[in-house]
Amino acid sequence: MDVEPREARPRRQRTENAARRRGQIIEATIESIVRHGLAATTLATVAEEAGLSQGVTVFYFKNKQTLLAETLRWHYEDYCAVWQAARDAAPLDPVSRIVAMVRADFEPAICNRRTLTLWHAFWGEANARPLFAAISEAYDRERAAALRKECEEAACLLDGDVWSPGDLALAIESLTDGLWLRMHLEPDAMSNGAALRVTSHFLAGAFPSRRREILDALAARAEGIRHGDA
């Protein structure tokens, strides 16, 4: 049996401890942004949220710009993990995968007041901060390409006089973005379940031959969210 060298264990522990500490600081950054706003978030507010000294925060992230950029990447990675897992767990036909990706956008784990506040804080700064724009563009491009691929594979089910695959993918993304903004600005007027109902009717219209299946699938998830299902 192979035995791990003793010197490897402390090294691995240091790596794991550093990863945990970085995660702790990033979570504190998110809390600071939600509480104070992005502009008012500083290394000092983050350290206070984390219960650490400011020196520890600087040790891991050097400056505010680096910390904010890593927080944005962290947030996108969480989002990507959810939509990719939903797509990969769906049946192989493209309509089911499109429905799964759209449903994932309104899962409470990634679509809630905290996360929506964070998204819009960063997006509001993207024009003034090229680094934020570049990070967002890279992740958004990956999802857009995945959604367009599924729309292209489902093209035979679309009404060609109404939709092209590219237009449908763009419309789905625009609808999601609009609903996220509405949920952010008017959280009491638009719930996750209501957003799912809106998108279900849109997708049912785009794929009329799968109308009942789409409506039932998204209505069932909306009901599950209403009852607090994970």
Q: Identify the pLDDT of residue 122.
A: 95
Residue 108 tokens, joined: 């409470």
Whether domain 1-62 has CATH 3.30.1360.170: the reply is no
Rounded alpha-carbon distances, angstroms, from residue 72 to 26, 30, 38, 50 = 9, 9, 11, 17
pTM: 0.87
Q: Identify the pLDDT of residue 9.
A: 53
Q: Residue 57 is which amino acid? A: T
Q: Residue 218 is which amino acid? A: L
Q: Where are the domains of the chain?
A: 1-62, 64-226
Reply yes or no on whether the pLDDT at 39 is more than 70.
yes
Q: Is 190 left (phi over 0), alpha (psi -120 to 50) or beta?
A: beta
Task: Give the Cβ contact number of residue 118 at 10 Å.
Answer: 20
Average pLDDT of the segment spanning 57-74: 94
Give yes or no for a contact between 148 and 165, defined as CB atoms under 8 angstroms apart.
yes
Could you give the CA distance from residue 214 to residue 40 in angstroms, rounded to a whole number?
43
Is the Cα torsion angle 90, 105, 170, 211 positive or negative in sign? positive
Q: Model confidence over 87-144: pLDDT tens digits?
A: 999 999 999 999 999 999 999 999 999 999 999 999 998 888 899 999 999 999 999 9
Fold assignment, 64-226: Tetracycline Repressor; domain 2 (1.10.357)
Give yes or no for a contact between 95 and 214, defined as CB atoms under 8 angstroms apart.
yes
Kindly report the CA angle at 92 between 179 and 96, in degrees rounded to 5?
A: 30
